[in-house]
Amino acid sequence: MTLDEKITLLAAKNVWETPEIDRLGIPSLKVTDGPNGARGGDFFDGTTAACFPACVSLAATFDRRLCRQVGKALGQEAVTKGAYVLLGPTVFCHRSPLGVRNFEAFSEDPFLSGTLASEYVKGLQGERVAATVKHFLANEQDTRRFSVNEIVSERALREIYLKPFEMVAKDAHPWAFMSSYPKINGRHVDAQSKFLIDILRNEWGYDGLVMSDWGAASTVESVKYGLDLVMPGPARQRTPEAVHKALREGLIDTSDIDSRVLATLKLLKQTGKLDDRKDTPKEQAIDRPEHRALIRKAGAEGIVLLKNENNILPIDVAKTKKIALLGPLAKYAAAHGGDSASLNCHYKVSPHDAFTARLGEQMEITHAKGAHIFREYPDMEAGCINSRGNPGFLAEYFMASTTPRGEPYHAERFPRGRFTTLMDTAVVGCQTVRFTLTYSPPVSGKHYLSFSGLGPSKLYIDDVLVAEQRDSIKDAMGFFLGAQEEIRIQHTFVSEEDYSIAMETHPSPYSNSELYLMEGQCSIHLGFIAQAEMEHDVLAEAVALAKEADLVILFVGNTTQWETEGQDLTSMTLPADGSQDGLIATVAAANPNTIVVNTTGVPVELPWLDDVPALVQAWYAGQETGNAILDVLLGENTPPGGKLPMSWPRKYDHTGCHGHFGLDSYASREVEYVEGVFVGYRWFDALWRSERQVLFPFGFGLSYSQFDVGGASIAGSLSSNNHAGPSVSVKARVKNVGARPGSETVQVYLEPPVVQGLGRPVKGLVGFAKVELQTSEEKSIEVRFGRDGAAYWDEEGRNWKVGEGTYKVLIATSSGPEDVKARLEIHVENGFSFGP
């Protein structure tokens, strides 16, 4: 290869593809989002795809085999999109309940995260599709993630934030890693050798490719520091001119370039692109029955039963004649979170869909929304026809800098009132976009419109200017991800009349997102709500139906408008403005038989918990979410067996990072990880007897049955010779002593001896085993762990250390002290250290 050909391979050619070199027969390689479904090349409204449960939902299953099956299916899905690299899994640890992408990652616990992510990767790569483990490193917050400097102790990095990546790298051998945006202790990940070279490659022995998050490459010197591939393209830092200049100045060496290029060539080989997968096939939508079944099973097994007074669940169908399905998420299929995790699903089943399809002939089912939770108005869609006679809008792109003149150089159809040039490879250098439609209102009214653009924008109705945004939007990334302030107006429309609606927008003149990818981009959003819908008393309607029902099921939570990357949540309260909390309290007062199903990726405050007999946490369970929820509520096929993969605080200000996370510190570009290694249950263990104790502990989840855990025993030892693998075996027997089938997850925690001045957490998870049991059935379980579970990072010695003394081994069904079933001991005679 010539030097210039090598330089070509240092960056992608477009949003999703690496460059090809025809002279040498080197093909392009396509990548695709994301962690819960293979979206394909179009960010919005692309080829349909299967949507699997979010990683937090998978973590709640505590099921290794299920995670591997999901990874395998995701590999098959990626192939249908012509992509042989999937951008997932996300394995950062949940630091705060306000983390807007927590749903995309597994857990607050590094061991659980690393274990399940490893299985996911193995399943995926079994299909010859590369996993991309992300985001390496410290991408726990999204607020100002492009510029924030995170101050993290070496011990916290090693014990909490690096640990799941280390486990995946050593156990699953992923073919790709993705670097992150933030600075860590003053420097970006790709601007130093510490993370990508010293730790990832030299200490852990990783020999795969490292790509950047989109726009996360900081300097041309990242070639030296281990960043193999910059995404997306075309090249910005790694232009031929910049790379040649860096070579002349001695900032990088040709051997650095060779190392980066070899990693890309190796990935091409691993994924088959150098042999039987040379071509990139057209994207396909293949809806496999076996994927449907897997999604439904995985979604149901992740659902967590948090409260069930008087055994109100499972639903007694024989005694229930009328059910009221209430809440803003009753007819909303919460399949996935927003942005990188979003996709155009083959289909989505809402709870209302599932109930009416399965129980509609057996009982009366009523519905009311009960509350509005709009962050922005829904995309305008119904009654819209573009100038070519097709449903939706027409976007025309012009090079003129002030007004759209002459013929557009490009045009695209959009099905609803939203478009963006970001991630659109067909649009280059536009200066003005005109977005038009003819609107024929189904009903008359003074309807509600919301309008905003990435850059200066105007909205016309019948050639009359009705709204103007004179400046660029304050937060470009927030706009792109659906979380921005909009101009809101009302306009009178008469049914059976046609209205010409046009919008004009220009690129933002500066990057108001702190990300260069947003520079020069155009975007528009037009939202719409009918007057009758907006002004209807939805709360009164819900209360009236609740009073008439035998059973009320309230579906509340977040939507993709609220949990979407770019800006962390502002509080632990349900959106919006107390409407959902008020709905629950009012409905529960009207009907004491009220079950709440919460669909979020994070814990939320529950001020009404004492007023309802049952609470179910449903997460984002994929395209079969409605069926999965109903399966658990009925208890026929899948009784509840999920366990919380994070601690559930009572309030946000009870957490260790309060005041030092996300929007707490928005005015600053620096965040300190003040809680150190005391993340999640490690923090709450120290507060257990205080008023700030956790509401639901990590690992907690109820069942419709009861289980007895006994016969615990331990064998083996911990020593410096345990480097080959787990050396301690813990065994126990689990028996179903209830009246229904079910599953139980036995968790093993290690409690180290107290060492004055060291400040170790009370305990840490070192293993778990999940068993399914019929009534009266008993099974034996075994959990094995080794020296890694007992070690802490010695900052002075820069190595791992296991101290001498007696370690307590706790066999439990959650991290809470009341769920400990047995206590064993293991003694370390002489402390020892071992290398990283």
**Residue 662 scores a pLDDT above 90:** no
- CATH 3.40.50.1700 holds for 289-336+351-365+547-665: yes
Kindly tell me the burial class for residue 418, based on how many C-beta atoms sit within 10 Å of its own C-beta (0-12, 13-18, 19 or more): buried
Q: What is the pLDDT of residues 525-545, one digit of tens each?
A: 999 999 999 999 999 999 999
pLDDT band at 511 (very low <50, low <70, confident <90, very high): low
Listed in sequence order, the residues at least 6 apart from 415 whose beta carbon sits closer than 8 Å to its beta carbon are 45, 381, 391, 392, 393
Q: Which two tokens stand for residue 224?
A: 């030296």
Which are the contacts of 25, defined by CB distance < 8 A and separation ≥ 6? Answer: none
| Residue range(s) in the chain whose domain bears CATH number 3.40.50.1700 | 289-336+351-365+547-665
Residue span(s) of the chain under CATH 2.60.40.10 come to 707-834
The whole-number average pLDDT for the span 470-499 is 82
C-alpha distances out from residue 822 to 122, 451, 685, 712, 730, Å? 33, 60, 18, 7, 11
Answer whether residue 482 shows pLDDT above 60: no
Q: Which has more pLDDT, 836 or 767?
A: 767
Confidence (pLDDT) at 479: 67
pLDDT, average across residues 96-111: 97
- Tell me which architecture the domain covering 707-834 has in CATH: Sandwich (2.60)
Q: How many residues does the chain have?
A: 836
Q: What is the pLDDT of residues 805-818, one digit of tens each?
A: 999 999 999 999 99
- Report the percent of the chain where pLDDT is more than 70: 96
**Long-range contacts (CB closer than 8 Å, 24 or more residues apart) made by 595-598:** 595/312, 595/313, 595/551, 595/552, 595/553, 595/554, 595/633, 596/553, 596/554, 596/556, 597/329, 597/351, 597/553, 597/554, 597/555, 597/556, 597/629, 597/633, 598/556, 598/557, 598/574
Residue 517's pLDDT band, with cuts at 50, 70 and 90, is: confident
- Letter string b/e over residues 329-360, b meaning 16 or more CB atoms within 10 A of that residue's CB: bbebbbbbbbbbbbbbbbebbbbbbbbeebbe
pLDDT at 419: 84
Tokens 């919006």 belong to residue: 576
d(CA 670, CA 342): 29
Which candidate, 686, 696, 719, places its Cα nearest to that of 649? Answer: 696
Catalytic residues: 213
Every domain of the chain with CATH number 2.60.120.260 lies at 384-534
Q: Which two tokens stand for residue 577?
A: 């403005």
pLDDT tens per residue across span 215-266: 999 899 999 999 999 999 999 899 999 999 999 999 999 999 999 999 999 9
The least confident of 315-329, 398-412, 637-651, 716-730 is 398-412
| Confidence at residue 438, expressed as pLDDT on a 0 to 100 scale | 96
Q: Which residues of the chain form CATH 3.20.20.300? A: 3-270
Q: What is the pLDDT of residue 506?
A: 85
Q: Which CATH architecture has domain 384-534?
A: Sandwich (2.60)
Residue 663 has pLDDT above 60, yes or no: yes
pLDDT digits (tens, 9 = 90+) for 554-599: 999 999 989 988 889 999 999 999 999 999 999 999 999 999 999 9
What architecture is the 3-270 domain classified under in CATH? Alpha-Beta Barrel (3.20)
Give percent of the chain with pLDDT exceeding 90.
82
pLDDT in tens, 175-189: 999 999 999 999 999
User: Average pLDDT, whole number, for the chain?
Assistant: 94
Q: Enter the pTM of the model.
A: 0.95
Burial of 290 (0-12, 13-18, 19+ CB in 10 A): exposed
How do beta strands 432-439 and 393-398 pair?
A: antiparallel
CB atoms within 10 A of CB 95: 26
Asked if 376 contacts 480 with a C-beta cutoff of 8 angstroms, the reply is no
In this prediction, residues 118-147 reach a mean pLDDT of 96
DSSP state of 149: E
Instruction: Give the C-alpha separation, 835 to 155, whole Å.
Output: 14
Mean pLDDT computed over 698-713: 98
Q: Provide the pLDDT for residue 474.
A: 75
Measured CA to CA, the distance from residue 201 to residue 354 in angstroms comes to: 48
Q: Which residue has the tokens 């079944």?
A: 293
pLDDT of 381-390, one tens digit each? Answer: 999 999 999 9
Whether residue 407 is predicted with pLDDT greater than 90 in this model: the reply is no
When mean pLDDT is compared over 424-433, 477-486, 720-729, 775-784, the highest value belongs to 775-784
Task: For 327-404, list the strands marked E by DSSP.
Answer: 364-368, 384-385, 393-398
